[in-house]
């Protein structure tokens, strides 16, 4: 039950670039690498352990063999042996498609999947880089459909200029897109269900327009104007700063200047640390693992004391 690291699962994307390699040290082999899946239980994309005695085993094999010790009693009761979170780093060299994700009810009915609530932490952003998050006014379904027909959807969208350290919470149904020049960490429900509604009329390497999900999206979109997406959080050093507490995950921000011990005796969940700056040795009673910027580690739920040894690190701490 030592702190467990996994091999990244690298994904080519039409909009991807090279920053996952240049900035985060991922072993990319393509100049359009858009995503590094750090921790995944998604079918056909299950993470494989990279350190310690379990090296070579899959996340699912560990869960099947040690469900309560790894996930925690309450997580098993709620999700069974399915890992409930998907962790990624994303490099957008170009704008991503404008998209949204269905809620649990729709995703279960249509795809036998979880919905996709997610959050973003901006690790780097080129000057004037933006996100699209929601609409800039209340929009009716009819007005939305007309904007697709008239190619004026972009006029209805809300644009947010971003910089390092900004964080955003994306509810299901909220229309959104990551803009060119953004490198971010993403925490989300385990789901790969995306409804793409506009793709800037781009074509893939074979000259084809990518599939849109216009009809599926109509019943899934939140047409309201809601300023509920920018996460206001403290960045006080050497303490746990709460960011998100939603039904699907809890995320804290830690900026440590020296060692810290975390008592997790009341936590019935695994703990994930995503390193977004610096480096740290994460240790428990069973072993330790070092992570640097762009790496992720999972501490099994059986751990009740977590030791963080560092001279300087920025971490996203994720639990259920």
Q: Provide the pLDDT confidence category of residue 175 given band limits of 50, 70 and 90.
A: very high
295 is in an annotated binding site: no
* CA terminus-to-terminus distance, the chain: 18
Fold agreement between 9-218 and 241-319: yes
* pLDDT 10s digits, 237-264: 999 999 999 999 999 999 999 999 999 9
Model pLDDT for residues 258-290, shown as the tens digit of each residue: 999 999 998 999 999 999 999 999 999 999 999
What is the model's pLDDT at position 264?
A: 93
Flag whether 118 is marked binding. yes
Measured between alpha carbons, how far is 219 from 110 in angstroms, rounded to an integer? 12
Tell me the two tokens of residue 44.
Answer: 């056909």
User: pLDDT tens digits for 193-233?
Assistant: 999 999 998 887 788 888 999 999 999 999 999 999 999 99
Tell me which of 3.40.50.1110, 3.30.365.10, 2.60.120.10, 3.30.420.40 is the CATH number of domain 241-319.
Answer: 2.60.120.10
Domain boundaries, the chain: 9-218, 241-319
Domain 9-218 indexed as CATH 2.60.120.10? yes
C-alpha distances out from residue 263 to 12, 173, 224, 260, 301, Å = 39, 36, 41, 10, 12
Task: Give me the pLDDT at residue 316, please.
Answer: 98
Q: Catalytic residue among 13, 78, 110, 196, which?
A: 196
Q: Taking the CB of residue 167, how many other CB atoms lie within 10 A of it? A: 22
| Tokens linked to 313 | 């690190």
Helix (H, G, I), strand (E, B) or coil at 186: strand
Give catalytic status of residue 196 as yes or no: yes
Separation of alpha carbons 285 and 37, rounded Å: 27
DSSP alpha helix (H) spans, 80-152:
104-111, 141-149
pLDDT at residue 114, as a whole number: 86
Q: Residue 157 — pLDDT band, cuts 50, 70, 90?
A: very high
The answer on pLDDT for 148 being more than 80 is yes
């Amino acid at each position: 039950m030592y702190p467990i690291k996994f091999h990244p699962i690298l994904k080519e994307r039409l909009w991807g670039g090279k920053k996952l390699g240049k900035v985060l040290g991922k072993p990319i082999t393509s100049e359009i690498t858009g995503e590094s899946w750090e921790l995944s239980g998604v079918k056909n994309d299950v993470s494989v352990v990279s350190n310690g005695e379990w090296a070579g085993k899959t996340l699912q094999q560990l869960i099947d063999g040690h469900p309560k010790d790894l996930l925690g009693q309450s997580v098993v009761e709620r999700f069974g042996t399915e890992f409930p979170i998907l962790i990624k780093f994303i490099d957008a060299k170009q704008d991503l498609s404008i998209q949204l994700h269905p809620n649990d009810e729709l995703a279960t009915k249509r795809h036998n999947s979880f919905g996709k609530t997610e959050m973003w932490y901006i690790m780097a952003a080129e000057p004037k880089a933006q996100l699209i998050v929601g609409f800039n006014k209340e929009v009716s379904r009819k007005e939305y459909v007309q904007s697709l027909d008239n190619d004026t959807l972009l006029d209805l969208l809300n644009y947010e200029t971003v910089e390092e350290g900004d964080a955003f919470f994306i509810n299901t149904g909220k229309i959104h897109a990551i803009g060119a020049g953004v490198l971010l960490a993403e925490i989300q429900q385990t789901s790969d269900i995306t409804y793409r509604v506009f793709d800037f009329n781009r074509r893939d390497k074979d000259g084809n327009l990518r599939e849109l999900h216009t009809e599926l999206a109509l019943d899934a979109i939140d047409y309201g104007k809601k300023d509920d997406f920018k996460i206001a959080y403290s960045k006080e050093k050497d303490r746990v700063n709460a960011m998100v507490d939603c039904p699907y995950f809890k995320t804290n921000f830690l900026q440590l200047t020296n060692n810290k011990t975390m008592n997790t005796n009341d936590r019935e969940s695994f703990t994930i640390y995503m390193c977004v700056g610096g480096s740290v040795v994460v240790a428990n009673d069973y072993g330790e693992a070092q992570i640097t910027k762009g790496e992720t580690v999972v501490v099994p739920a059986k751990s009740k004391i977590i030791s963080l040894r560092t001279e300087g690190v920025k971490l996203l701490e994720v639990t259920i």
